[in-house]
């Protein structure tokens, strides 16, 4: 095992696998290695003997003894002990741990990257918010999670493609186009009560003014008087909105497409810019409309129909999604011949499966009920639905001065992601969004995120990195020379703790990738920063003894490197000065 590998967990797993083949030939068992919470229990603990007790009909301690005797020799293992009912505790040699310093400095930005994904093509679709208004802080959590997860999976060896699904063919875009047009008419004195369920924000008025500035009164038309009065109390607001959309399309004719596309282009452009400024980038912006234009939606519906998975009722076509675990069947084509959003979503997922080995959808938690029907449709089309993973993201609740902020897109009373970033900063925003598991509720405390204190985790980590850079700058030596440092002098408790933390980093990447959980990286970085701050407070680095000085500087330089690598996965900067 060379210094460049430094994956003790994988190495020990192979040693135990060989021992298992000796002690129990042909016996299958999962080799699990955990990091004990207490140092006296070793560096790694294995429960293999306890797993084998029942099938082998022997006591776990006897089996543990046999496994230890059969373990191949390794220069990284100092000793192996039996503990409790039959746990096997493994102690790594100090020299092996010390080699991590050279390994990190040699690997640089590549340290921590693993081959778990083996080049598997994986697509991650995230954000995919309807381009009907500015992104709000709820969208921001999905953006931060998706971008960080993409980076983690890339570091784990997957070939990752980041995709945004643009809903440019649905009713919501028609509502936005209508909203803009009605605001435009208001500019020319056409008095129409603005529907309460249309889009209300100032950005709608801005687009109306922009159209007016470019085209003056070109798109002014008089609406049907029956549609512009006050809505009776017993009327259906959505039906009224649909009637207004139909009237707009009739009056504008071909010009409706201009208003629609203008609103789409403006909002999609704003979304792109906002995300880019947030450090979130996509490889593909996939148009929903293209699925209709290519005929894929119609072909998918016909395929489901031919396979007997659709039936007609009340003039509409329904997918038998209850056959696949859904709570009720779903319409794929309405009685008016129009396809539903679900129909285009089925087509989109089939398209994804044709392009990638695995697919991950990042959805808001309110889409939980959508999982069964989408997976059911894929199964009905003869696809392996297990290739699709769904990661749910709970909405973030923003607090400023202890007060909860509203985030209603339609009403226009929401805090935008851009406003949050401007007030808190990109780094704190990105980090705070991934501080919890994606499916857990998140209260975003803006006051804490802006504070320069140890209670602010992103500040605490960045300050650790800046501290290291400050020490190295004071030294002002030849950084590459640290590769030759005699690390055998790194034997204090603080140094041993820091060494083990650096060793753990590749396994942290592996766990985060397997669990689709970038918050694991955030927790690791907090622990790494805490280990360094403790070391900093207890030690001097620029000592007169050249051997000790170079060893300690090499250790903290490796620590800064790992901090930088981890922060970059989360889209957070690693400043050299603060």
End residue of a domain, out of 67, 92, 117: 92
Residue 413 sits in the same domain as residue 383 = no
Tokens standing for residue 326: 């859904």
pLDDT at 412 over 60: no
End residue of a domain, out of 368, 393, 418: 393
Residue 110 resides in a domain: no
Residue 227 resides in a domain: yes
Q: Which of these ranges, 303-317, 345-359, 408-422, has the smallest mean pLDDT?
A: 408-422
The whole-angstrom separation of Cα 291 and Cα 304 is 16
Q: How confident is the model at residue 3 (pLDDT cuts 50, 70, 90)?
A: very low
Residue 487 sits in the same domain as residue 533 = yes
Count: domains in the chain: 4
CATH number of the structural domain spanning residue 318: 3.40.50.620
Tokens standing for residue 463: 């300050």
End residue of a domain, out of 352, 375, 393: 393
Residue 267 sits in the same domain as residue 348 = no
Residue 205 resides in a domain: yes
Query: Facing residues of 445 across strands?
Result: 399
Q: What pLDDT, on a 0 to 100 scale, did the predictor assign at position 240?
A: 87
The whole-angstrom separation of Cα 267 and Cα 211 is 14
Q: Are strands 159-166 and 121-125 parallel, antiparallel or unpaired?
A: parallel
303 and 382 Cβ atoms separated by less than 8 Å: no
pLDDT at 374 over 60: yes
Q: What pLDDT, on a 0 to 100 scale, did the predictor assign at position 37?
A: 85
The whole-angstrom separation of Cα 532 and Cα 495 is 9
* Average pLDDT taken over every residue of the chain: 93
Residue 457 sits in the same domain as residue 444 = no
Residue 303 resides in a domain: no
Residue 160 sits in the same domain as residue 17 = no
CATH number of the structural domain spanning residue 14: 3.30.1360.70
pLDDT at 402 over 90: no
Question: What are the angstrom distances between the C-alpha of 158 and each of 76, 83, 151, 254?
Answer: 29, 38, 10, 46
Q: What pLDDT, on a 0 to 100 scale, did the predictor assign at position 232?
A: 55
Residue 324 sits in the same domain as residue 423 = no
Residue 184 sits in the same domain as residue 273 = yes
Q: What pLDDT, on a 0 to 100 scale, did the predictor assign at position 378?
A: 98
Residue 186, classed as helix, strand or coil, is helix
Residue 98 resides in a domain: no
Residue 175 sits in the same domain as residue 67 = no
Q: What pLDDT, on a 0 to 100 scale, did the predictor assign at position 404?
A: 84
For residue 163, the 8-state DSSP code is E
Between 399 and 498, residue with greater pLDDT: 498
Residue 428 resides in a domain: yes
Q: What pLDDT, on a 0 to 100 scale, did the predictor assign at position 175?
A: 96
Residue 519 sits in the same domain as residue 382 = no
What does the buried/exposed string (b/e) look like for 193-211 if buried means 16 or more CB atoms within 10 Å of the residue's CB? eebeebbbbebbbebbeeb
The whole-angstrom separation of Cα 549 and Cα 543 is 6
Residue 315 resides in a domain: yes
Residue 524 sits in the same domain as residue 424 = no
pLDDT at 288 over 70: yes
Residue 208 sits in the same domain as residue 270 = yes
Q: Which helix (H) or strand (E) holds 209?
A: helix 202-215
The whole-angstrom separation of Cα 466 and Cα 225 is 67
Nearest CA among 447, 464, 478, 471 for reference residue 524: 464
Residue 118 resides in a domain: no
Q: Provide mean pLDDT across the span 186-208.
A: 92
Q: Which domain holds residue 182?
A: 126-293+400-450
Residue 214 sits in the same domain as residue 347 = no
E strand intervals along 324-462: 330-333, 358-364, 388-393, 396-400, 403-404, 407-408, 413-414, 442-445
């Amino acid at each position: 095992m060379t210094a460049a590998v430094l994956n003790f967990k994988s190495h020990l797993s192979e040693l135990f696998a060989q021992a298992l083949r000796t002690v129990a030939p042909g016996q299958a068992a999962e080799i699990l290695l955990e990091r004990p919470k207490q140092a006296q229990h070793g560096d790694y603990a294995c429960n293999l003997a306890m797993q084998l007790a029942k099938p082998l009909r022997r006591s776990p301690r006897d089996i543990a003894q046999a496994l230890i005797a059969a373990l191949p020799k390794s220069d990284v293992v100092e000793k192996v002990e039996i503990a409790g009912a039959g746990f096997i505790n493994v102690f790594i040699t100090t020299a092996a741990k010390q080699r991590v310093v050279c390994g990190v400095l040699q690997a640089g930005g590549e340290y921590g990257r693993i081959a778990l994904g083996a080049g598997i093509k994986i697509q991650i679709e995230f954000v995919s918010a309807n381009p009907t208004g500015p992104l709000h802080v709820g969208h921001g959590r999905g953006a931060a999670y998706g971008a960080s997860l993409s980076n983690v999976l890339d570091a784990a060896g997957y070939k990752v493609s980041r995709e945004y699904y643009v809903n440019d063919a649905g009713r919501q875009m028609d509502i936005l186009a209508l909203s803009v047009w009605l605001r435009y008419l208001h500019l020319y004195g056409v008095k129409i009560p603005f529907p309460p369920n249309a889009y209300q924000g100032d950005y709608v008025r801005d687009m109306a003014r922009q159209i007016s500035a470019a085209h003056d009164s070109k798109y002014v038309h008089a609406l049907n008087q029956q549609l512009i009065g006050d809505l009776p109390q017993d009327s259906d607001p959505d039906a009224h909105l649909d009637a207004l959309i139909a009237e707009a399309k009739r009056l504008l004719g071909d010009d409706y497409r201009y208003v629609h596309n203008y609103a789409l282009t403006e909002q999609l452009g704003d979304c792109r810019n906002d995300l880019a400024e947030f450090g979130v980038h996509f490889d593909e912006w996939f148009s929903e409309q293209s699925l209709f234009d290519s005929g894929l939606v119609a072909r998918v519906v016909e395929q489901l129909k031919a396979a007997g998975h659709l039936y007609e009722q009340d003039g509409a076509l329904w997918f038998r999604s209850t056959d696949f675990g859904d709570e009720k069947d779903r319409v794929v084509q309405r009685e008016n011949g129009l396809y539903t959003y679900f129909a285009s979503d089925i087509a989109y997922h089939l398209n994804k499966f044709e392009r990638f080995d695995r697919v991950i959808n990042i959805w808001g938690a309110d889409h939980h009920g959508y999982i069964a029907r989408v997976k059911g449709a894929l199964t009905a089309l003869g696809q392996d639905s297990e290739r699709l993973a769904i990661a749910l993201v709970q909405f973030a609740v923003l607090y400023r001065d202890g007060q909860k902020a509203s985030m209603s897109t339609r009403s226009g009373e929401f805090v935008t992601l851009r406003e949050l970033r401007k007030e808190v900063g990109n780094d704190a925003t990105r980090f705070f969004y991934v501080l919890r598991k994606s499916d857990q509720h998140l209260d975003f405390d803006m006051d804490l995120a802006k504070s320069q204190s140890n209670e602010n985790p992103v500040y605490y980590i960045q300050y650790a990195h800046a501290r290291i850079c400050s020490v190295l700058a004071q030294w002002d030596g030849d950084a590459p020379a640290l590769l030759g440092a005699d690390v055998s002098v790194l034997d204090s408790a603080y140094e041993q703790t820091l060494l083990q933390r650096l060793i753990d980093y590749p396994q942290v990447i592996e766990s985060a990738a397997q669990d689709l959980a970038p918050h694991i990286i955030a927790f690791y970085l907090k622990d790494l920063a805490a280990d360094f701050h403790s070391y900093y407070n207890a030690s001097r680095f620029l000592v007169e003894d050249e051997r000790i000085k170079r060893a300690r500087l090499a250790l903290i330089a490796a620590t800064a490197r790992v901090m930088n690598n981890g922060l970059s996965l989360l889209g957070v900067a690693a400043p050299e000065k603060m």
